[in-house]
Structure 1
Amino acid sequence: MDTRSDEAADRWLERTLSDPSAGGSGPGGPALLLVEGAAGTGKTRLATRLVETAGGRSVRSVTVSFSSYGATVGVPRPPGPKAPGDVRTPRTPPPARADADPPAADLPFAVDSLLEQGDRFLLVAEDVHRADRASLDLLRGLVERAPAGLTAVVTYRPEELREPGLALGKGAHFPAALAVLRLRLGPLDAGQVRTLVAEGLGESRCPTDLIMRLFECSGGVPQVVADVVALLRESGDGRERLSVRDLEAVGVPPRLAELALGRTAALRERIRPVAWAAAVLDEPVEAEELSAVAGLRREEGTDALVEALRAGVLREDGEGRYGFFVPMAAAAVYGQVPGPVRREMHRRAATALGRRNPVPWVPLARHRRHGGQVKAWLRAVEHAALQCAADGDHQAAIDLLERTLSRPTVPLSARARLAPLLAHSAVLGLRSDQTVTVLRQILDEQSLPAAVRGQIRLDLGLLLCNQAVAGMQGWLELQQAVEELEERPLMAARAMAALAMPLLSTVPLERNLYWLERAEKAGADSGDEEAATAVAANRAGTLMYIGDPSAWQVLEQLPRETDDPACRQHVARGLCNAADGALWLGQLGPARGLLAEGVELAARSGASYVEQGARGTLLLLDWAEGNWAELTTRARAFVAEADTMPGQGVDGRTVLGLMALSRGEWQQATAWLAGEGSRETNGSAVPHTATASGALIRMALVRDDVESAVAEASMAWDRIRDKGVWVWAAELAPWAVDATLRAGRRDTARGMVLEYEVGLEGRQAPASSAALNWCRALLAEADGEHREAAELYRRAAILYAGLPRPYATVLATEGAARCRLASGADTVAAVGELTSCVQQLTELGAVWDAARIRAELRAHQGADEQRPRGRPSYGDQLSPREQEVADLAATGLTNREIAATLHLSPRTVEQHVARARRKLESQSRQNLSRTRSQRPD
Structure 2
Amino acid sequence: MPDSAGSAEDAEAILRGRLAPALDPRGDGRPVLLLVEGAAGTGKTRLVERLVEAVAGTVHRTAPGGSPAGDGPELLVAEDVHRAPAEDVARLRALLADPPPHLACILSYRPEELAVPGLPLGPDTDFPARLAVVRHVLGPLGVAEVRRAALAALGADRCTPDLAAGLHRLSGGVAQTVADLLDLLAGQPSAVGLDRLGTPPRLDVLTLRRTAAVPEEHRRIVHAAAVLDEPATSHDLGMVAGLPGRSGADALAAALRAAALEERGDGRYGFGSPLAAAAVRRATAGPVREALHRRAAKLLARRQPVPWERVAVHRRACGDERGWLVAVERAAGRFEEAGGQQHAVELLESALATGPVPEQARSRLARLLARCAVVGLRSDETLKVLRHIVADPGLPPAVRGEIRLDLGLLLCNQMGEVMEGRDELARAVDDLAGEPVPLARAMSALAMPYGPDASFAENVAWIERAVAVAEESGDPVVRAAVAANRVSVLLNGGDPAAWPLIERLPRDSDLIGCRQQTSRGLCNAADAVVWLGHYEKSRDLLAEGVTLAARSGAVYAEQTGRGCALVVDWATGRWAGLAERCRAFVDESGDMPYLASDARMVLGLLALARGDWADALDRLTGPEAADLDTGPVPISATVSGALIRLALAHDDVAGAAAEAAVAWQRLRAKGIWAWAAELAPWAVEATLRAGDTAAASAMTAEFAAGLDGRDAPSADAALEWTRGVLAEHTGRTTEAAARYESSAAAYRSLPRPYHAALTAAGAARCALGGAQDSGPAVALLTDSAAVFDALGATWDAARTRAELRHHQPAAERRPPGRPAYGDALSPREEEVAELAAAGMSNREIAATLHLSPRTVEQHVARALQKTGVHSRQQLGRVLGPASH
Report if aligned partners of 2:613, 2:840 keep a CA contact under 8 Å in 1. Answer: yes
* Distance across 2 between alignment mates of 1:821 and 1:519: 56
Distance change in 2, residues 1:19/1:175 (3 Å): closer
* 2:185 paired with 1:183: no
**Normalised TM-score (structure 1):** 0.85
* 2:427 paired with 1:427: no
Greater shift after overlay, 830-839 or 723-732?
830-839
Report if aligned partners of 1:505, 1:684 keep a CA contact under 8 Å in 2. Answer: yes
| Structure 2 counterparts to residues 77-476 of structure 1, below 5 A | 103=63, 108=67, 112=69, 118-119=72-73, 128-129=81-82, 136=89, 140=93, 143-189=96-142, 215-221=168-174, 224=177, 237=190, 246-252=193-199, 256-257=203-204, 259-261=206-208, 263-264=210-211, 267=214, 269-476=216-423
Aligned-residue offset at 1:332: 3.8
* Distance across 1 between alignment mates of 2:109 and 2:610: 57
Please tell me the residue identity of whatever aligns with 1:777: G
Aligned-residue offset at 1:905: 3.9
Question: Equivalent residue for 1:623?
Answer: 570
Distance change in 2, residues 1:776/1:259 (3 Å): farther
Report if aligned partners of 2:414, 2:594 keep a CA contact under 8 Å in 1. Answer: yes
Greater shift after overlay, 840-849 or 804-813?
840-849
Question: Equivalent residue for 1:574?
Answer: 521
Question: Equivalent residue for 2:676?
Answer: 729
Gaps of 5+ in 1: 65-72, 74-102, 239-244
Aligned Cα RMSD in Å? 3.6
* Distance across 1 between alignment mates of 2:282 and 2:603: 46
Paired residue secondary structure (2:354)? coil
* Distance across 2 between alignment mates of 1:786 and 1:61: 95
Paired residue secondary structure (2:319)? coil
**Of 454, 457, 466, which aligns to 1:510?**
457
**Of 479, 486, 489, which aligns to 1:539?**
486
Report if aligned partners of 1:123, 1:150 keep a CA contact under 8 Å in 2. Answer: yes
Question: Equivalent residue for 1:805?
Answer: 752
Report if aligned partners of 1:638, 1:649 keep a CA contact under 8 Å in 2. Answer: yes
Question: Equivalent residue for 1:773?
Answer: 720
Greater shift after overlay, 819-828 or 508-517?
819-828
Question: Equivalent residue for 1:612?
Answer: 559
* Distance across 2 between alignment mates of 1:710 and 1:44: 76
Please tell me the residue identity of whatever aligns with 1:31: V
Question: Equivalent residue for 2:743?
Answer: 796
* Distance across 2 between alignment mates of 1:232 and 1:896: 52
Question: Equivalent residue for 1:242?
Answer: none
Question: Equivalent residue for 1:850?
Answer: 797
Report if aligned partners of 1:16, 1:151 keep a CA contact under 8 Å in 2. Answer: no
Question: Equivalent residue for 1:870?
Answer: 818
* 2:32 paired with 1:31: yes
Distance change in 2, residues 1:379/1:862 (3 Å): same
* 2:529 paired with 1:592: no
Distance change in 2, residues 1:319/1:730 (3 Å): farther
**Of 653, 668, 671, which aligns to 2:600?**
653
Deviations 1:449-489 (A, max 9, x none): 11111111111112222221122212111111111111312
| Structure 2 counterparts to residues 659-738 of structure 1, below 5 A | 659-680=606-627, 683-738=630-685
Report if aligned partners of 1:433, 1:644 keep a CA contact under 8 Å in 2. Answer: no
Aligned-residue offset at 1:436: 1.0
**Normalised TM-score (structure 2):** 0.90
Greater shift after overlay, 499-508 or 905-914?
905-914
* Distance across 2 between alignment mates of 1:809 and 1:689: 22
Distance change in 2, residues 1:163/1:885 (3 Å): farther
* Distance across 1 between alignment mates of 2:353 and 2:23: 77
Distance change in 2, residues 1:33/1:571 (3 Å): same
Distance change in 2, residues 1:705/1:315 (3 Å): farther
**Percent identity of equivalent pairs:** 52
Question: Equivalent residue for 1:12?
Answer: 14
Paired residue secondary structure (1:359)? coil
Question: Equivalent residue for 1:483?
Answer: 430
Aligned-residue offset at 1:419: 0.7
* Distance across 2 between alignment mates of 1:47 and 1:391: 50
Report if aligned partners of 2:22, 2:104 keep a CA contact under 8 Å in 1. Answer: no
Deviations 1:220-253 (A, max 9, x none): 4456556656766776657xxxxxx944345445
* Distance across 1 between alignment mates of 2:604 and 2:845: 19
Report if aligned partners of 1:506, 1:682 keep a CA contact under 8 Å in 2. Answer: no
* Distance across 1 between alignment mates of 2:285 and 2:196: 23
Report if aligned partners of 2:833, 2:875 keep a CA contact under 8 Å in 1. Answer: yes
Aligned-residue offset at 1:189: 4.6
Report if aligned partners of 1:5, 1:184 keep a CA contact under 8 Å in 2. Answer: no
Aligned-residue offset at 1:901: 4.0
* Distance across 1 between alignment mates of 2:574 and 2:816: 42
Question: Equivalent residue for 2:766?
Answer: 819
* Distance across 2 between alignment mates of 1:759 and 1:134: 99
Report if aligned partners of 1:844, 1:936 keep a CA contact under 8 Å in 2. Answer: no
Deviations 1:817-865 (A, max 9, x none): 3333334454334334433334333333334443443444345449983
Report if aligned partners of 2:113, 2:258 keep a CA contact under 8 Å in 1. Answer: yes
Distance change in 2, residues 1:416/1:269 (3 Å): same
* Distance across 2 between alignment mates of 1:516 and 1:480: 17
Aligned-residue offset at 1:11: 4.3
Please tell me the residue identity of whatever aligns with 1:166: L
Distance change in 2, residues 1:737/1:52 (3 Å): farther
Please tell me the residue identity of whatever aligns with 2:686: A
Deviations 1:737-795 (A, max 9, x none): 33333434333332222222122112111111122222222223323444433332222
* Distance across 1 between alignment mates of 2:178 and 2:188: 15
Distance change in 2, residues 1:190/1:509 (3 Å): farther
Deviations 1:701-733 (A, max 9, x none): 333333433333333222222211111222222
Greater shift after overlay, 41-50 or 476-485?
41-50
Please tell me the residue identity of whatever aligns with 1:733: A
Paired residue secondary structure (2:270)? strand
Report if aligned partners of 1:465, 1:505 keep a CA contact under 8 Å in 2. Answer: no
Report if aligned partners of 1:588, 1:621 keep a CA contact under 8 Å in 2. Answer: yes
Report if aligned partners of 2:681, 2:718 keep a CA contact under 8 Å in 1. Answer: yes
* Distance across 2 between alignment mates of 1:290 and 1:338: 18
Aligned residues: 881
Distance change in 2, residues 1:599/1:929 (3 Å): closer
Please tell me the residue identity of whatever aligns with 2:119: L
Distance change in 2, residues 1:776/1:163 (3 Å): farther
Please tell me the residue identity of whatever aligns with 2:30: G
Report if aligned partners of 1:630, 1:936 keep a CA contact under 8 Å in 2. Answer: no
Distance change in 2, residues 1:44/1:415 (3 Å): same
Distance change in 2, residues 1:846/1:255 (3 Å): farther
Gaps of 5+ in 2: none
Question: Equivalent residue for 1:93?
Answer: none
* Distance across 1 between alignment mates of 2:800 and 2:473: 61
Deviations 1:158-185 (A, max 9, x none): 4444543334555444432333333334
Please tell me the residue identity of whatever aligns with 1:183: H
